[in-house]
Amino acid sequence: MEFLIFLAIIAGLAFYVVAIYNRLVALKNRYENAFAQIEVQLKRRYDLIPNLIETAKGYLSHERDTLEAVVNARNQALAGLESLKGNLGSADAMKELASAEGLLQGALSKLNVVVEAYPDLKANENMMQLSEELTSTENRVAFARQAFNDQVMEYNTYRQSFPPTVFAGMFGHPSDAQLLQFEDSAEIQAAPKVSF
Amino acid sequence: MDFYRAQDQARRLTGRLVLLFGAAVLTLVILTNVLVGAALVFVQQPTSVGMVTLVDRLATIDATTWLIVTLGVVGTITLACLFKVAQLNGGGPALAESLGGRRVAADSTDPAERRLLNVVEEMALAAGTSVPPVYLLPEPGINAFAAGFGSGDAVIGVNQGTIDALTRDELQGVVAHEFSHLLNGDTRINLRLIALLHGILFIGLVGRLLLRGSGSGHRSGRRSGSNGAPVALFGVGLMIIGFGGTFFGNLIKSAVSRQREYLADGAAVQFTRNPDGIANALKKIGGATAGSLMTRAGAAEASHMYFANGISHWLGGLMATHPPLDDRIRAIQPRWDGNYIATTAGGFAVGSATAATAAATTSRFADGPIDRSTTIDVLETEVADSAALVGNPSQKSQDMAEAVLESTTRKLRDAAHQAFDARALLYAMLLSDDAELREEQIRTIARLDSDRTAQAALRLLPDLDGIDDLHRLTLAQTAMPALKEGSKAQARSLLRTLTELIKADRQIALFEWVLHRLMVQELRPHFEKPEPPKWEYGTLSQVADACSELLTALATRGNPQARSQEAAFRAGADALGLELRFEPQPDPNLTRLSAAMTTLRKLTPLAKPRVLKAAAETVLADELVTVDEGALLQGVSAALDCPLPPAIYAELKR
């Protein structure tokens, strides 16, 4: 009799532990999927920048430094994104991408200021289209980033709560996931408003 | 077989399932009791237990033991079921994720994924439902599934192998098959079935655990005593009982599932008007090396949800969740020569296999008893038959859906396919014409959502100019997968912002009301658990007041004069066969209409088509259909869970 009660309790506990395991896996998958969305949009942005430079080059022959700064920042951000792939848990890689993104933002806003001084370039149809696309990609990155951070928060909160925290390490979830926060977010918040 | 009968049958099947399940549990309880009794007898007197003495001794065991064993078994099964129910609470998305599915982004640019998304979108709009999100499973076999409790959490899952190997027509056939499962309510039973079967299966699992546990206990047990052997025996016994339970469980599952598969195949032919698409898809499964098998560990318990057999079983036909491929193909193409189509893996198939063979085929489904093309022809002259259209997308409604989308600008269509832009699109739809009011609405968006979204909404505004409410609603339904991307917090804030925007001018326009209802129905399950529907009212007379409210709203909308209003109201009331009194409302009250719709939602599904029909009669009483009436009709059909294909708009516009 006691044996059966014991059995029932064991069964209940087993269910509970399995449920914790499954939930951890599901939440992790979800934030990883959310990151894939950011990745798609960031890549799109990195692909747009060379076109932008190509268009601007003809007009901005005296602004070599500004253009180069954008290209360099873009390459660095792209490298940051590549190194983060399959390595989402790493705080360093996440920071690296964030700071590279901050750098790129800075370089792009500098370029915007420069473009203001060249009305011909500003009125260039190609340029207008590119800047429009950059803006909308910017918005999408912001949205995807918010979704990602929400999912990470949900994962972290669950992982830290009791009793999942007891099992999390055992089940291959030893540490919190990293939020993606862009450095100097105030500057980036303002970025889409700048028009060419 | 029409939509309502199919749904009703699905519900009755659920009833029978519960009965069978009860019988299975009872059997399990009795068997376990006997086993425990035998174990107890064995422990008390291990030697010389004959059959007769066993029975004698079983009789001496007291009632408490029986009670405890029974409670133990029932408790374990309940626990296992509840566990599964909790796991499946997330509905379709949760199941797709547990099978290793990856959500295909609504703005994916991969050509094969894009094609899949387009096919799903066309099918959904043709059926008049919101577009469900699509999941891609990394499996080489040709297979697909649909899952979900209702339209809010419905998903379509497709194997990578499917989009690699099939042409567009074949893919369309497969997707139509899955849509039939969604529309006919099969996915709801299927999810419940998984939970119930998990309970039965679990007994066997406990047995296996016990056996393993006693194995290790045995080694240490040599010193402390010999308790291991009976425990192991008990484990083996439980395993055998468990296997029995699983066996019968699978038998139930397979029998139910096989029956629904023919129905879905038939529906796929109806929806696509192309028997070759689905037939060739089936032939390719026969010819493919990976067939339709699913490799993932958890795939077995969802085996009855797939497009074709996902799990092979040594008992073959008896345990197959789907009818044999050959039978399914022959049901669609009676003159099939028996040759499968060989597929090469990798590189998605392009081109169309239809034109050449289509003419030669006479199919059971194409002109058989369940064909509904006649209904659709009838519909061309009489829209009042709209109820027959529900759940039956036709070529015509597909064309209509396409035409609706074509009439919008490219920018709007792209926006509807992108998570961020789709939000802005919805906000833009609700922006007021009044500059001051719009200013305030923009501030509301910036406050509750973000400044970026507000700006994006303003940019989309010029494109929405001149697009009527019906087209806007269709756009909103197209945007659904994109809107369901993102986090729970984002979905919640979207719904809150929409509500605030609607309230901005202190009055609720009809379009706003319909859009809000649609959004609540679709987005709520995204951040709250999906609610199972309740049928509280069995007859129309129980909901007479709500019907009266609905017909009044429709009659008032479409007719300026009081006399024609009453005539329209009468037409609807007659269709319902109810004695209703018309009380004209100078100012149509949408809050009361909302309450009425909430009541009507709880009406038994078999009575709902009559309400929809009455609504159509009211709208058509003056043989003139305004956009307002059309939008309201769409809101009503969505609220009643009777998706109304857009073919009806052809009549509305006339």
Nearest CA in chain B to A15: B83
Phi-psi region of B347 (alpha: psi -120 to 50; beta: other; left: phi over 0): left
CA A155/CA A152 separation, integer angstroms: 5
Of B113, B139, B178, B512, the catalytic one is B178
Q: What is the pLDDT of residue B390?
A: 60
Rounded distance between C-alpha atoms, residue B406 and residue B156, angstroms? 25
What type of residue sits at position B112?
A
Q: What is the spatial distance between Cα B262 and Cα B284, in angstroms, rounded to a whole number? A: 18
Cα separation, B430 vs B440, in Å, equals 12
The residue of chain B nearest to residue A6, with distances taken between CA atoms, is B72
* Class of residue B451 by CB neighbours under 10 A (exposed 0-12, middle 13-18, buried 19+): middle
Which residues in B452-564 belong to E strands, given as ranges? Answer: none
Biggest alpha carbon–alpha carbon distance for chain B? 97
**Can you read off the two tokens belonging to residue B618?**
């009211």
pLDDT of residue B423: 94
Closest-CA residue of B relative to A34 is B486
DSSP calls for B248-312: HHHHHHHHHHHHHHHHHHHHHHHHHT-HHHHHHHHHHHHHSSSTT---SGGGGGGGGGBSS--S-
Mark which residues 410-429 of B lie under 8 Å from A by CB: 418-421, 423
Cα torsion at B260, B264, B270, B273 (round to 10°)?
Answer: -150
Instruction: Name residues 435-474 of chain B within 8 A of A (Cβ).
Output: 450-453, 455-456
Residue with tokens 């597929």: B343
Give the separation between CA B478 and CA B538, rounded to whole angstroms.
34
CB B365 within 8 A of CB B265: yes
CB contact under 8 A, B83 and A15: yes
CA gap B201, B303 in Å, rounded: 14
- 3-state DSSP helix/strand/coil percent for chain B, to nearest 5? 70, 5, 25
Cα–Cα dist B522/B132, whole Å:
10
Instruction: Quickly tell me which residue has 């139509």 as its tokens.
Output: B176
Structure tokens at A180: 């993606």
CB contact under 8 A, A143 and B68: no
Residues of A in contact with B69 (CB under 8 A): 4
Query: Residue B648 is encoded by which pair of tokens?
Result: 């009806």
CB burial readout B43-60, b (16+ within 10 A) else e: eeeeeeeeeeeeeebbee
Spatial separation of the C-alpha atoms in residues B592 and A28, rounded to whole Å: 44
Query: Do residues B159 and B140 lie in contact, with contact meaning Cβ atoms separated by under 8 Å?
Result: yes
B107 with A43: CB under 8 angstroms? no
Beta pairing, strands B102-103 & B134-137:
antiparallel
Which of B83, B103, B486 has the CB atom closest to A143's CB atom? B486
Active site includes B97? Answer: no
**CA–CA dist B600, B603 (Å, integer):** 5
Measured between alpha carbons, how far is B145 from B296 in angstroms, rounded to an integer? Answer: 14
Q: What is the pLDDT of residue B267?
A: 80
* Per-residue pLDDT at B356: 33
Is B80 within 8 Å of chain A by CB? yes
State the first-to-last Cα distance of chain B, in angstroms, to the nearest integer: 30
Strands across the sheet containing B155-159: B102-103, B134-137, B155-159, B144-147
CA angle B422, B423, B428 (to 5 degrees): 95
Q: What is the pLDDT of residue B381?
A: 31
Q: Count of residues for chain A? A: 196
CA within 13 Å, CB half, B534: 5
Selection from A8-12, A160-164, B288-292 with the highest mean pLDDT: A160-164
Q: Which residues on chain A place their C-beta less than 8 Å from a C-beta of chain B? A: 1, 4-5, 7-8, 11-12, 15, 18-19, 22, 26, 29-30, 33-34, 36-37, 40, 136, 138-140, 142-144, 146-147, 150-151, 154, 189, 192-193
| For testing contact with chain B, the best of A25, A32, A136, A180 (most B CBs within 10 A) | A136
CB B540 within 8 A of CB B578: yes
Output DSSP code: residue B110: -
DSSP string, A126-195: HHHHHHHHHHHHHHHHHHHHHHHHHHHHHHHHHHHSTTHHHHHTTTT--SPPPP---TTHHHHHHGGG--
| Closest chain B C-alpha to A140 CA, distance in angstroms | 6
φ, ψ for residue B308, nearest 5 deg = -140, 170
Give B624's DSSP letter: -
Q: Residue A188: its pLDDT value, please?
A: 45
In contact, A173 and A23? CB cutoff 8 Å: no
Instruction: Report mean pLDDT in 10-residue bins for chain B, 654 residues.
Output: 60 71 81 78 62 66 78 81 80 85 88 91 83 91 88 89 90 91 81 79 73 55 51 76 75 74 81 84 82 70 76 60 82 82 57 36 33 31 47 65 73 89 94 92 93 92 86 88 90 93 86 89 80 76 88 82 84 85 73 86 80 83 76 82 65 46
- Residues 6 or more apart from A18 whose CB is under 8 A from it? B83
Q: Hey, is the C-beta of B486 within 8 angstroms of any chain A C-beta?
A: yes
> The tokens 């493919």 sit on which residue?
B288
Mean pLDDT of the residues in chain A: 84
Question: What is the number of other CB atoms lying within 10 angstroms of the CB of residue A72?
Answer: 13
Residue A139: which of B79, B202, B452 has the nearest Cβ?
B452
Q: What is the rounded distance in angstroms from the CA atom of residue A27 to the CA atom of residue B466?
A: 43
CB-based contact B105 A139, cutoff 8 Å: no
> Other C-beta atoms within 10 Å of B438: how many?
17
Q: What is the ipTM of this complex?
A: 0.84
User: What pLDDT digit, counting tens, does each position of B75-123 carry?
Assistant: 878 888 888 887 777 788 888 888 888 899 888 888 899 999 999 988 8
Q: Searching chain B, which residue's CA lies closest to the CA of residue A13?
A: B79
Note the helical H segments in B325-434. 325-332, 354-358, 364-367, 373-381, 386-389, 395-406, 410-416, 419-430
Of B87, B107, B420, the CB nearest to A139: B420
User: Searching chain B, which residue's CA lies closest to the CA of residue A151?
Assistant: B487
Predicted TM-score (pTM) of this structure: 0.79
Nearest to B76 among A11, A33, A189 (CB): A11
The C-alpha atoms of residue B276 and residue B261 are separated, in whole angstroms, by: 17
Helices (H) and strands (E) in chain A, counts: 7, 0
pLDDT of residue B456: 92
- Check residue A186 and give its pLDDT: 47
* List of chain B residues whose C-beta atoms are within 8 Å of the C-beta of residue A144: 419-420, 486
